[in-house]
């Protein structure tokens, strides 16, 4: 009996240690405000820290802040509406309507065009993930492509035929990434899309809303093939919830990020270091930024 008790205690300790090393820490709100009253409509917001963030607005307007949203500056850009952003150091990408794809190499001060990808709404580009200035993924709801030259050219990647419409993508290393579809399938590749293996987001407590919207309402980041997180909104009862895995999607845990119903029509972004989350309330045009530092 004593030996059995010791074994049980050791197993419980191991379980607790595993949970502590795979789940995110305490998230706290550091920004909750309307970024720019003068923008009539903005579509997406992304912060890679509590200091630096960007919003995309109507008719290609892009604004950036370096002081926790206290002040904003307008980027030099010409394009149609842009519906998503990706930030990796001083490089920032945006894409949206009419196939427009843009890149900034100077922390958002100016943007220049890249090769078009996608079509007009509702078949527009709405997902981006770049692991370096040259290597990235881009996607509409139905098509995924990669680039090895910073977006001057795009190469179509073929997902398995049983995959559904895309709701999130993440390229976490060269040739290694994951695509999530509206059926909660996560398709992993380790060879640049030549082969895929399927895992599923399974949560007995929460059923995520995985409908495809104009801008991303689901966010996906992985540090490596094992450790990652998905953020999605739950319809009933409403919340934005973080799902996290430490074993490549074999099992999932979850924690609620926000129950504010203003984000029922919102968008979400996870920074590449997975320490900053941005929620945009598209109805009231308010941004909330959460940090895990």
Q: From first to last of its 293 residues, what are the pLDDT tens digits of the chain? A: 444 443 333 333 333 333 333 345 589 999 888 766 656 678 999 999 999 999 998 899 999 999 999 889 999 999 999 999 999 999 999 999 999 999 999 999 999 999 999 999 999 999 999 999 999 999 999 999 999 999 999 999 999 999 999 999 999 999 999 999 999 999 999 999 999 999 999 987 778 989 999 999 999 999 999 999 999 999 889 999 999 999 999 999 999 999 998 888 889 999 999 999 999 987 778 899 999 86
Strand 219-222 with 136-139, pairing: unpaired
| 212-246 pLDDT per residue, tens | 999 999 999 999 999 999 999 998 899 999 999 99
Structure confidence at residue 265 (pLDDT): 85
As to burial, measured by CB atoms within 10 angstroms (0-12 exposed, 13-18 middle, 19+ buried), residue 162 is exposed
* CA distances from residue 191 to 157, 176, 195 in whole angstroms, order as listed: 11, 6, 7
Model confidence, pTM: 0.90
For the domain covering 40-291, report its CATH number.
2.130.10.10
* CA distances from residue 95 to 59, 116, 121, 251 in whole angstroms, order as listed: 12, 9, 12, 33
| Three-state SS at 264 | helix
Q: CA dihedral defined by 51, 56, 62, 63, rounded to 10 degrees?
A: -30
57 touches 97 (CB < 8 A):
no
Structure tokens at 246: 């430490």
| 253-274 pLDDT per residue, tens | 999 999 998 888 889 999 999 9
Structure tokens at 135: 């290597």
Structure confidence at residue 286 (pLDDT): 87
């Amino acid at each position: 009996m004593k030996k059995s008790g010791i074994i049980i205690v050791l197993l419980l300790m191991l379980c607790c240690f595993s949970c502590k090393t795979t789940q995110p820490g305490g998230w706290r709100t550091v920004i909750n405000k309307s970024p720019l009253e003068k923008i009539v409509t903005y579509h997406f917001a992304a912060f890679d820290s509590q200091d630096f963030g960007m919003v995309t607005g109507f008719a290609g307007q892009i604004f950036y802040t370096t002081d926790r949203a206290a002040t904003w500056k307008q980027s030099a850009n010409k394009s149609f509406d842009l519906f998503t952003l990706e930030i990796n150091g001083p490089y920032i990408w945006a894409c949206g309507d009419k196939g427009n794809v843009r890149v900034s190499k100077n922390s958002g001060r100016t943007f220049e065009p890249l090769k078009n990808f996608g079509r007009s709404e509702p078949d527009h580009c709405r997902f981006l993930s770049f692991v370096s200035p040259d290597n990235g993924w881009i996607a509409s709801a139905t098509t995924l492509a990669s680039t090895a030259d910073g977006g001057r050219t795009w190469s179509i990647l073929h997902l398995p035929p049983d995959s559904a419409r895309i709701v999130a993508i993440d390229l976490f290393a060269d040739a290694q990434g994951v695509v999530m579809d509206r059926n909660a399938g996560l398709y992993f590749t380790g060879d640049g899309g030549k082969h895929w293996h399927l895992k599923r987001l399974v949560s007995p407590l929460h059923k995520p809303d995985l409908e495809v919207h104009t801008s991303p309402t689901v966010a996906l980041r992985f540090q490596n093939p094992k450790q990652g997180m998905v953020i999605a909104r739950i319809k009933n009862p409403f919340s934005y919830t973080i799902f996290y895995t430490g074993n490549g999607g074999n099992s999932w845990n979850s924690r609620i990020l926000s129950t504010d119903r203003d984000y029922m029509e919102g968008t979400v972004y996870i920074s590449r270091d997975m320490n900053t989350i941005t929620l945009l309330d598209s109805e009231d045009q308010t941004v909330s930024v959460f940090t895990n530092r």
